[in-house]
Amino acid sequence: MLLTADTVLTGRQSLRPGWIDIADAVILGVGSGAPPAPPALALGAVTVAPGLVDTHVHGGAGADFFTADPAGTAEAVALHRSHGTTTLVASLVTAGPAELLQQVRALAGDVRLGVLDGIHLEGPWLSPQRSGAHQTALMRDPDPAEIDALLVAGEGAIRMVTIAPELPGALAAIEQFTAAGVVVAIGHTEATYAQTRAAIDAGATVGTHLFNAMRPIDRREPGPAVALLEDPRVTVELIADGVHIDFAIYRMVTKNAGVDRVSLITDAMAATGVADGRYYLGPLAVDVTAGVARVAGTDTIAGSTATMDQVLRNAVAASGVPLDEALPIAVAQSSCNPAQALGLPAAAGLAVGAPADLVVLDAHLSVTAVLRKGVWVIAPQ
């Protein structure tokens, strides 16, 4: 299938006009100007971009990955696919040892089937002082035996874990996970600047939703955010939903960390794509009002109800630069950067040999078509 469009954003460069040649779920060629042959599909005045990559999402369409129910998982994934997310890593909140093992085994099956692209363990190795929407009673210090059991249960499906570096045994756990090929993120933490630096030196390479559930910056104790921001080895997540951070933070982080070190995420929970009401994030009740999710009876934000296309549009609108400059940046931060941080195939964007995952955007940056592994999830009209 050879397709053309007025604009093709590969994730690394802009092609106007551009073309993409696809066969057997793989990109065979991509270029600018006239295509090498008559196209099978001329998309016209649209933007074609790499499929969006969400490496931090808890559910959607009323379903929570915490339940590890295959039908619910499929519904949540379908909801996010319809919004342009072609690569999705399921995030799990803190659970007890036996339950966590069961969840990992179940979701690993979905990874093998290609429904999910990995698992992110956002807990249980977190700081009770920065618990967010996690159950503090189930939090615990890293234990090598439990980690080994989880790695065996995951059979390679665990892509990322979040750890608070100040916990006893945290540095050894970081080394244990990285030795197994798992990306370690720092988050839900009360760590000092020095403790965060030590965790990065031990192998941590991601900052979990920067500034949220994290010790704030102080003039005498910079804390984890500064350590994560200033280290070129680290990719920092931002929840650009308009609730978790002010958009001035997005601009500041992009400017200071650099375009290539920012990973936009949704942190979406079960209420994404459905009506306001009572939902659950793991074992905790969550009330959603006007699209904002909070732990029931508190002011604590409990994930988001955003989708990746919304996050992309928010980043463009908040960038403070012209569309032609803002859109390629937001596309990279919503596709190649998160994939690269976790070593996923989508890191290449729209490039020869890469998976045939793409999204078609109209002039308002709304999703009009989605291709995943060479198959139309939403076909062009």
| DSSP label at residue 287 | E
**What is the separation of C-alpha 246 from the centre of its chain, rounded to a whole number of angstroms?**
19
Q: How many CA atoms lie within 13 A of 271 on its CB side?
A: 23
Token pair, residue 104, equals: 């990992």
Cα(106)–Cα(96) distance, integer angstroms? 15
Token pair, residue 98, equals: 């036996």
DSSP-based three-state secondary structure for 315: helix
188 is in an annotated binding site: yes
220 is in an annotated binding site: yes
In 3D, which of 195, 251, 259 has the Cα closest to residue 228? 195
285 is in an annotated binding site: no
Whether 150 and 100 have beta carbons less than 8 Å apart is answered as yes
Q: β-strands 85-92, 52-57: how paired?
A: parallel
Q: β-strands 292-295, 7-9: how paired?
A: unpaired
180 is in an annotated binding site: no
337 is in an annotated binding site: no
256 is in an annotated binding site: no
71 is in an annotated binding site: no
108 is in an annotated binding site: no
76 is in an annotated binding site: no
Per annotation, catalytic residue among 54, 117, 267, 357? 267
Q: How many CA atoms lie within 13 A of 21 on its CB side?
A: 11
Please indicate whether residue 299 is annotated as part of the active site: no
Q: Which residues are annotated as a binding site for Zn(2+)?
A: 122, 188, 209
Q: Which residues are catalytic?
A: 267
Residues of the binding site = 122, 133, 188, 209, 212-213, 220, 244, 301-303
Binding-site residue set for substrate = 133, 212-213, 220, 244, 301-303
